Structure 1
Amino acid sequence: MTGIREALTLLWSTPDSANMVQEDKTWHTWAQVRDTAERIDAELERLGCGPRSRIGVVLINRTESIASLIAILRHDRVLLTLNPAQPSQRIVEDAVGAHPDVILAPREYWADEEFAAPIAAAGIVGVAVDGSDVSRVFGDAPVPPRPDEQDPVAVEMFTSGTTGPPKRVPLTWRQLEAALEAVHGHTGKGRGDHEPFTGPVALISLSMVHIGGLWGVIQSLSEARPIVLMPRFTVEGWVDAVYEHRMIVAGLPPAAMRSVLNADVPKEKLATLRAITAGTTFVSPELADEFTDRYGIPIMIMYGATEFGGAVAGWTKPLIKQWWEHKRGSVGRPFPGVRMRTVDENGAVLPEGSTGRLEVSSPQTGTGVGDWVRTSDLAHLDEDGFLYIDGRADDAIVRGGFKIQPETVCNALRAHPSILDASVFGRPDERLGHVPVAVIETVEGAEDVDVDELKTFLRTRLTAYEIPVEIHRVDALPRSVSLKVDRRRLLEMVDEIESSRAR
């Protein structure tokens, strides 16, 4: 199998005229992308950035980010992702805390003194990248060489922080190569013998700063597939790309899947699709069935995490055909080479069908084959090896000694015909420890949903202690770049709602 670094080097045999990246309906050729990548590489070389030098990138979904990725990874440098969806101050805090040798960003970022000054004061070199214009903004101290590492890091990502503060996760070359091998083993596909950038088009609709978006680009480059890069997800943009390029497989997070359904997209616009992949967050079987019933397209749900460099379990079309009716609610089976088990609070292995903390053993984990990595997910595995995610151990709300899984409450809320989506969190309570609070987004036309009626509805689906003490309605749940609910912004919205009521 062609490795990622080898595949990046093989790109240099691509004809200059090959269409490589489509952005805003405009194709960028390999010659254009290569020119930007080579200019970035030359500037990093001039600064002394060799193997294992850490290069931060404000990773906007634009062609320059793909060129940056090529220049960094092809020469064994480390890509450190910085999230452009965050306020400038948070990007700076992440950057200064991680302290890369160099940061690449559009010139407009460096024109912002509140962004540039703290980075310059930290001794980090700033480089502006806009199209083929690559120029140093400040800093010129030579970057010292980095020592060799036994298991060298390729990417340092910040997790989304949807359930707490983001953390930096190192992904090694071994993990990325294992993830690529696992995907090809799962799908039965690889680079093949096609001419570069003449194969099926890959649609990147998630932000590259999220593992789903970044992995989509890395896999596409490894397979030399042309890329359609969406600056941000929109139903119109996604549908147009699928229709124009006659795509066979495309990805949709559950929130985006619901948006496509609500937009009543004509069936013929999606007629070429043979499957949808979904896996950034929980996908309800009801939503998957609704989409399949409407469009005749199966939903291949995947399970993974940033720490694994991507997916480690999932559905395939043959599995769906054989098992979906009996295994609805599962996220599929472990990929080839991946082992899974559940354990109790003391680490004792649980029998089939028992819910506990999910542990994974795979070449994609940080410690490699042979070691078990404990996740924050509560799960169970059935007798046929199918994995079910039952909640998050670190999300559990303990109310008077009773544990509540927020996803259980969310699912009950989503079952109400007026509820489009929901999020639930625990609020400190002097008497009970924590109590659940829900925030809902309603379907169009249901803005005046009655909270008391909603609680009555929930009593038929939840135990008394699982009923939220408060239910707030918002126009739209705040979402991160991966389309997950952004917990920090959600709490800020709730504070604003409750403060306005108190006036």
Structure 2
Amino acid sequence: MQLSRLCPGDWVTLNARYFPGNDCLVAADGRVRTFAEVDARVTRLVRALRAAGVGRGDRVAIMAVDSPEYVELVLACMKLGATYAALNFRLAGPELRTVLTASQAKLIFLSARYEELVEGCFPAAAAHVQERIAFDKTEAGLTTYEDFLASGEDGGEIESVTTDEEILSISFTSGTTGVPKGVLQSQRMIKAVTQSGALELGVRPGDLLMSGAPLFHAGGFGHVLYGVSRAAGSVVMPQWELETALHWLQSGRVTEAMLVPSMIIQLLGHPRVTDADYAGLRSIMYGGAPMPTSVIRRMSEVFDCDLHNGFGAGTEAGGQLTLRPEDHRRALAGEEWLLGSIGKPAFGCDVRLLDPEGNEVRDGEVGEIASRGDTVMSGYLGQPELTARAVRDGWFIAGDLAWKDEEGYLHLAGRADDMIIRGGENVYPVEIEDVVGAHEDVEEIAVVGEPDAQWGQVVTAVVVLRDGAAPLTVEALREHCRGRLASYKVPTRVVALHEFPRNASGKIHKQELRRQLGEGLA
């Protein structure tokens, strides 16, 4: 007998029944769609997708800036049981071709600004795409989202019939020229991540949420789902825009916000940031990059609300740890050491610190963060060996190193790999090294992250040049990378060395390289 489950696709319908007039999606310009209106549009969209040949398990790609329509499309896919692939709109052409091929999507929905970029994927990289649909008018006259929506039949409620292990989302964590990491997110995972986040933040019916993270990002759409699941609304900005964000925070309507440190630093530097008392703002969730203590203190003074610091592998395992408001209050009252912590396990997440043999380390010793719970992914698309390395006996291991103090708070000790986190975005050095290493004047290349007050980390390219080559400038390197890498991956600094520090096996010693850069020796 098939048990009847409450699926993510049912959330909007349930809240349309009991909270029909509550704001659901609020555009940056103030246009509002209630839960009743969004549910009616999502229901019609499900029927339009079915008529277009999209069924349970089929895939739909999205290459677009954020909008209420974008959210409706994802909700419709969840209700239908189709798998959506939200693509990073910052990807360059080669990166997009790689992930679009991997997605095997039947349809792709896009913003007009990316029409030419998507067109460049045809036919080889997108032979599986049967139709392109635009959220706005395009030069080629593609079917618009509203026309596609109108093609669906009107009618009563549609009940979701998906099971918890069905894959609702494929989230690509990087767009390399090789095989991308497509994270398979099940209904179980999405439900658990949403429940954990909504509970930790205390989201209530009638709240209005705002996230600075884009919808293709796990944190961005996850924050919207907190609202959808709890009859709360979400402000949806096309992209991060400082003036728009400040306007909404000062409107008195936004109750919860999620921002990365670079956004908070921009807000605190705005000349009008103290023009409001932010009386309606209950809390801010920050994370995704290191946050200076001075910025946390200033944020508390200006916004005067609860603060949450979230840490985790959002795409693969949701929020693993959180430093809660009571912890921030202790820290700001004098126990400042707490602000250097990444907190304690989030709701629904079990966390351990393991040694290389997989044994739990003692308090005070550094170990690799491992977590388990319903928030863990189902694996990587088409990469069973990579999945087996990342998920061991149900425990997800991302390569983050930490130690636990006597009160049970975890403190980050570094990363087992060399991932760079710039403004909340994960940057993988290998893909940048491949591009920069192809420059005719570069003999060897190593890409590392360096601390930055605004972005948390920035990308630095350390090179050994070929004999007789002229100095490589940042401008020349940017020109070389243009069209091959997303802008946030392009190095902001170039350092030339005669030779690299190396370990015993002859490999470039990145830890020593970072030390030299920090001391100004490189």
The alignment's TM-score, normalised by the length of structure 2, stands at 0.69
* Corresponding residue to 1:337 among 348, 356, 360: 348
**Match for 1:124 among 117, 129, 139?**
129
* Alignment CA distance shift 1:472-1:123 (3 Å): closer
From 33, 38, 42, the counterpart of 1:29: 33
Q: Partners of 2:30 and 2:124 in 1: how far apart?
A: 33
Letter matched to residue 255 of structure 2? I
> Where does residue 168 of structure 2 map in the other structure?
154
Q: Deviations over 1:250-309 (max 9, x none)?
A: 122100111112213342425223432101222233321232244444532111223345
1:174 partner amino acid? R
Residues 283, 301 of structure 1: 8 Å contact kept: no
**1:142 corresponding residue in structure 2:** none
- Give the number of equivalent residue pairs: 416
Return the match for 1:423 from 455, 458, 474: 458
Hey, what's the Cα distance between the residues in 2 that align with 1:423 and 1:228?
A: 29
| Secondary structure in 2 matching 1:21 | strand
Alignment match, 2:187: 173
The residue number in structure 1 matching 2:499 is none
- 1:77 matched to 2:91? The reply is no
1:312 corresponds to 2:326: no
1:279 corresponds to which of 287, 300, 322? 287
1:65 CA displacement:
0.3
Counterpart for residue 99 of structure 1: 104
SS at match of 1:319: helix
Please show how residues 317-332 of structure 1 align to structure 2 within 5 Å.
317-322=325-330, 325-332=336-343
CA-based RMSD of the aligned residues comes to 3.9
- 2:495, 2:336 → 1: CA distance? 43
Structure 1 distance, partners of 2:489, 2:56, is 36
| 1:362 aligned partner | 373
Summarize the alignment of residues 41-440 of structure 1 with structure 2, pairs less than 5 Å apart: 41-106=46-111, 109=114, 114-115=119-120, 117-118=122-123, 122-130=127-135, 131-134=145-148, 151-160=165-174, 167-187=181-201, 189=202, 194=205, 199-272=206-279, 273-308=281-316, 310-322=318-330, 325-366=336-377, 371-395=394-418, 410=451, 414=453, 422-423=457-458, 425=460, 427=462
Q: Spell out, residue by residue over 1:396-441, the C-alpha distance to the aligned partner (whole angstroms, 9 max, x if none).
A: 89xxxxxx9967x62xx65xxxx886525574669xxxxxxxxxxx
Q: Distance in 1 between matches of 2:183 and 2:455?
A: 32
Displacement after TM superposition at 1:355 (Å): 1.7
TM norm structure 1: 0.71
Question: 2: CA distance between counterparts of 1:232 and 1:129?
Answer: 17
Match of 2:232, as an amino acid? Answer: R
Task: Say whether the 8 Å CA contact 1:64–1:129 is kept in structure 2.
Answer: no
Distance 2:248 2:164 in 1: 42
Distance change (3 Å), C-alpha of 1:490 and 1:35: farther
Report the CA distance between 1:107 and its aligned residue: 5.7
**Which ranges of structure 2 fall in alignment gaps of 5 or more residues?**
136-144, 151-161, 379-390, 420-428, 430-445, 466-470, 479-485, 497-522
Distance in 2 between residues matched to 1:359 and 1:118, nearest whole Å: 42
- Aligned counterparts of 2:41 and 2:232: Cα–Cα separation in 1: 19
Name stretches of at least 5 consecutive residues in structure 1 with no aligned partner. Answer: 137-147, 398-403, 431-469, 478-484, 497-503
Separation in 2, partners of 1:170, 1:340 = 21
User: What does 1:430-469 align with in structure 2 at a 5 Å threshold?
Assistant: none
Residues 134 and 245 of structure 1: CA distance in aligned 2, closer, same or farther (over 3 Å): farther
Work out the CA distance in 1 between the residues paired with 2:29 and 2:302: 28
Question: What is the one-letter code of the residue matched to 1:24?
Answer: A
